[in-house]
Every structure is written in structure tokens, then in C-alpha cells.
């Protein structure tokens, strides 16, 4: 019988422990897994909002939703409310739901635009169950036979501890200590980690989950970092926790200020807050002051500053080392994609795992897919900044007037001139996501598909009214978000 592959994961946190638990769950009989971490090395621990893909991933690795939510003080998330992004005073929700009904020929927003041109149809928001439920502070996992599309807000530190406990129970070996040195063999592959107590941790494959440090992939293997700060200027964040002063709402808030934006993430027992900014446009003191005067509730933690460079490793897989999480790249948390990127990297690794000696093409494919994924999400985040009418600060002037990737410029032009939208290249942000952000920030098509004129006006009017009524009735039947949480997944040890 062939010996198990020795897999060493450097670093804990969400990236390390989610990787460990996923691999021990799905490939545990083929791998001998060791995770190295130090209690003295802090984790970022502020990735507390997620997107719906995590639900699917949890099912794959056997995570019980109620157990996980109770352990991490989690609440439900139906989308993100964006305040002040198009213009000051604007507000819209990028929801996780489907808008209206699908048609093979044209998207629903184009039928809606025809209805509006005919003098009826109301708001596009009226045709999305998840969006209307979010506004009404209502939630259930399903209404009737229809399941809602949702994600989670959670305590990231508690999530890592939850995954660590499950991983160790499943057979992952945890080693406490700091990595003092990384040893490479003659071919350049990593052969061992030398710990601060003198012990050597040998392995066949190494996973770098050391965060922004990139201890294995960057400092040891010298893989360059591609800087995207010319498109996404933010290089700093300050995070702080506050007491909850109201029932948790089923959405994240992203509140734009004159030279920064602020997140607000409601958990069962507290609220996670933070401000994301660029030192080019705002000093640390100014950012902290802006955050502190826009909090609701008393602070229950000291503000903590984070520094980062938006971009990606030019190779996420180099030699026998694969970077997962912040060590492979960073996109600011505007669309809550950090944990999603961890899960897709894990899935990619499972499919391409180097069980043999011929690994060059596996690494090349891993790197190609990782590059495409990060660039696609990057474009979606740039869209929020660039598509603004704000001119009240150098910050917004910079984003409004800057050059953008050709791929994004083409997408915006197609929507502006023809109303045409399509899913992104990695099937993460659907048509509805692009439409909600573009229209939410004031990009209105000058023309659109004529499919809405195929029906007589009376028929279109009746169909639109039926859709609105169905959604309104569904929202009315839903319980309050906070009440549903208390009946479904009340947190432990609050």
C-alpha cells in the first residue's frame, strides 16, 4: 500500500483550518495532515461576511448549518446594502436573489424597462424576494417550496476555533510554535519547516496559509506579487466591535464616506465594524475618527489597524507549495469574497492534488484558474468605485476618472448602450448582480431588447403584477430575522 502524502499547512485562522478540515474530510485516507500555527501570531479575523457559495461548500465537507451558526454567533445575510456610492444619499441593495423570471432571449430587467416605458412596473426591487425580505428585516431558509438564497455573518475567530476542533477530532495533527526557517532541497522544493523549539516538520506538499506575510510562497520561494493598487487604492483598514443596539438585520452595510467606506456586520451578540481607506487620501487618524463617529453602540474592543496591498501572487502554486487565503492575494472586503476565494482554492487543490511526481501542468492549471478568478472579482469591485457621480473629494475624483480594465469598460459600455448583461467568467456574479450594482449606481441603458414588446401591453402588465403580488405575499409570511435566528440557531455562550 502506498504511503500517505505528508501535507503540511503553515498557518491557522480561517484559511488554514478550513483547508485542513476540508482535506481531512474528503481525502483523509490518502493524506497525513499537520497544521503548524502559533498562538503568538495573530490572525486577521475580520472576514465576518460571506456569500452563498459557502453553504454549498459546507454541505460538501459535512458542516451542520445550525451547529456552525450557533458556535459562531452567526446571522443570515441576504445581500449588501450600499449607501452613498452612486451619489451622496443614494442607497441600493445588491441581493443574492433572482430578479423576476428567467427568459432565454432577454433578461428580466429588459422586460421591466419596457414596462416602465409603458408607465407601469414599479421598482426593479419589487421583483426580488431576497431583496424585499432584507428591506423588511424578514427571513426564513425557505417560504413555501422556494428556498431563499442566503449567506452568513459570523465571528471569524470563533469559526477558526470551530474548524480547528473538528479538524483535530478528524485526525489533523496540530503543532504549536513559530516557524524559524524554511528548508528547501536541491530541486528548490520545500522539504521541512524548522520550528522555534528546534523540531523539524517534514512534508511532501506545503500549504501557505500565513496570511499577508506569505512566509513560504513569498519570503522563501520568492514569488512576486502583482500590485493592483492603481485600480484599488485602499491599503488600510481599521476594525472595531460594538454592542448591538437593535435586532440583527439580514444584510451587510457598506457605507461610503468622503474618502473611505465603512462596513457594518451584525452578529447575534455584537456588530463588526470597520473602515477601508487609502493612505493616499486619508490619514490613519482621520480614518479612525470617521469610523468612531459613525458607530452605533458602545465599543467593546480596541480599534485594530490592518495594512495590505491589493493584488495577487503571480503564481499561487510554486514548486511543492500552494498559497491559500491572504498569502495568495487580497481583494478588499467590499463584496465579501475572501472566504469564497479560500473555498475555491481548496476545491481546485482537491481536483488537482499532486499525488504523483508530474506536477508542472497541475500547477500551471491551478495558477491559470486562480488568475482568472481574481481578475474577474477585481473587475466587479472596481465597478463600485468607478461607477459613481460623486465629485466631493479627491478620493472619488480619482476613482471616477481613472482608467479601468478593458474587460470592465466593455461590459459597462454594452449595458449602457444596449442593456445587455451577462454572467462573469467564473460564474460567481450572475447577471442579476451586475444589473443591481450598475443600475443601483445610476447606469441606465439607453436602449434594450425588444422582447418585452412581444406580449400585448395588457399581458405584460398582468405578468408583472402577478410577480409583485407573489413576492409581497411571500415576504409578509416570513418571520422577523431575529425571531427566526432564536428558533433556528441561538448562539452558544453569549
The residues carrying an active-site annotation are 77
Which of 19, 8, 7 is CA-nearest to residue 325? Answer: 19
Could you tell me which of 387, 474, 488, 484 has the C-alpha nearest to residue 97?
474
Question: Mutual orientation of helices 338-352 and 13-27 as an angle, nearest 10°?
Answer: 30
316: cell is 499561487
C-alpha closest to that of 384 among 369, 373, 399, 370: 399
Query: In sequence order, what are the residues at sequence separation of 6 or more whose Cβ sits closer than 8 angstroms to the Cβ of residue 220?
Result: 182, 184, 190, 321
Cβ atoms within 10 Å, residue 314: 13
d(CA 160, CA 312): 23
Dihedral in degrees, nearest 10, Cα atoms 82, 85, 87, 91: 0
d(CA 288, CA 420): 41
Query: Do 388 and 396 meet the contact criterion of CB atoms below 8 Å apart?
Result: yes
Report strand pairing: 190-195 vs 179-184. antiparallel
Rounded to whole angstroms, the Cα distance separating 343 from 50 reads 11
Cβ-based burial of 292 (10 A; exposed 0-12, middle 13-18, buried ≥19): middle
Give Cβ neighbours of residue 30 (< 8 Å, ≥ 6 apart).
4, 5, 355
Question: What does the alpha-carbon distance between residue 66 and residue 60 come to, in Å, rounded to a whole number?
Answer: 16
How many of the other CB atoms lie within 10 Å of CB of 195? 18
Give the bridge partners for 175, in sequence order. 36
Amino acid at each position: 500500500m502506498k504511503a500517505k502524502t505528508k501535507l503540511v499547512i503553515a498557518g491557522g485562522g480561517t484559511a488554514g483550518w478550513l483547508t485542513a478540515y476540508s482535506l481531512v474530510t474528503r481525502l483523509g485516507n490518502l493524506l497525513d495532515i499537520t497544521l503548524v500555527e502559533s498562538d503568538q501570531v495573530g490572525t486577521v479575523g475580520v472576514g465576518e461576511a460571506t456569500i452563498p457559495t459557502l453553504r454549498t461548500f459546507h454541505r460538501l465537507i459535512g458542516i451542520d448549518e445550525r451547529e456552525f451558526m450557533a458556535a459562531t454567533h452567526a446571522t443570515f445575510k441576504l445581500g449588501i446594502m450600499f449607501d452613498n456610492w452612486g451619489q451622496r444619499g443614494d442607497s441600493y441593495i445588491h441581493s443574492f436573489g433572482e430578479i423576476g423570471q428567467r427568459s432565454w432571449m432577454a433578461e428580466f430587467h429588459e422586460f421591466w424597462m419596457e414596462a416602465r416605458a409603458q408607465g407601469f412596473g414599479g421598482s426593479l426591487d419589487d421583483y426580488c424576494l431576497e431583496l424585499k425580505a432584507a428591506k423588511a428585516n424578514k427571513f426564513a431558509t425557505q417560504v413555501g417550496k422556494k428556498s431563499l438564497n442566503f449567506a452568513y455573518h459570523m465571528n471569524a475567530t470563533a469559526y477558526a476555533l470551530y474548524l480547528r476542533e473538528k479538524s483535530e477530532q478528524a485526525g489533523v495533527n496540530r503543532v504549536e510554535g513559530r516557524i524559524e526557517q524554511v528548508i528547501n532541497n536541491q530541486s528548490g522544493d520545500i522539504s521541512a519547516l524548522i520550528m522555534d523549539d528546534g523540531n523539524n516538520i517534514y512534508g511532501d506538499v506545503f500549504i501557505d496559509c500565513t496570511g499577508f506575510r506569505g512566509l513560504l510562497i513569498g519570503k522563501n520561494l520568492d514569488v512576486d506579487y502583482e500590485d493592483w493598487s492603481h485600480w484599488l487604492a485602499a491599503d488600510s483598514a481599521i476594525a472595531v466591535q460594538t454592542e448591538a443596539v437593535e435586532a440583527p438585520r439580514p444584510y451587510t452595510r457598506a457605507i461610503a464616506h468622503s474618502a473611505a467606506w465603512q462596513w457594518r456586520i451584525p452578529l447575534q451578540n455584537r456588530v463588526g465594524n470597520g473602515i477601508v481607506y487609502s493612505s493616499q487620501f486619508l490619514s490613519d487618524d482621520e480614518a479612525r475618527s470617521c469610523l468612531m463617529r459613525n458607530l452605533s453602540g458602545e465599543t467593546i474592543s480596541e480599534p485594530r489597524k490592518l495594512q495590505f496591498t491589493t493584488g495577487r501572487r503571480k503564481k499561487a502554486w510554486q514548486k511543492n507549495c500552494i498559497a491559500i487565503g491572504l498569502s495568495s492575494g487580497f481583494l478588499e472586503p467590499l463584496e465579501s469574497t475572501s472566504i469564497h476565494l479560500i473555498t475555491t482554492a481548496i476545491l481546485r487543490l482537491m481536483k488537482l492534488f499532486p499525488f504523483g511526481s508530474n506536477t508542472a501542468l497541475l500547477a500551471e492549471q491551478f495558477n491559470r484558474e486562480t488568475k482568472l478568478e481574481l481578475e474577474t472579482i477585481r473587475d466587479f469591485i472596481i465597478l463600485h468605485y468607478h461607477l459613481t457621480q460623486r465629485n466631493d473629494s479627491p478620493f472619488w475624483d480619482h476613482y471616477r476618472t481613472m482608467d479601468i480594465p478593458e474587460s470592465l469598460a466593455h461590459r459597462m459600455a454594452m449595458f449602457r448602450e444596449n442593456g445587455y448583461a451577462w454572467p462573469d467568467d467564473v460564474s460567481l456574479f450572475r447577471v442579476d448582480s451586475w444589473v443591481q450594482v450598475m443600475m443601483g449606481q445610476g447606469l441606465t441603458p439607453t436602449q434594450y431588447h425588444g422582447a418585452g414588446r412581444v406580449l400585448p401591453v395588457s399581458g405584460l402588465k398582468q405578468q408583472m403584477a402577478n410577480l409583485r403580488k407573489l413576492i409581497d405575499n411571500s415576504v409578509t409570511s416570513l418571520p422577523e430575522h431575529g425571531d427566526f435566528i432564536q428558533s433556528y440557531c441561538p448562539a452558544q455562550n453569549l
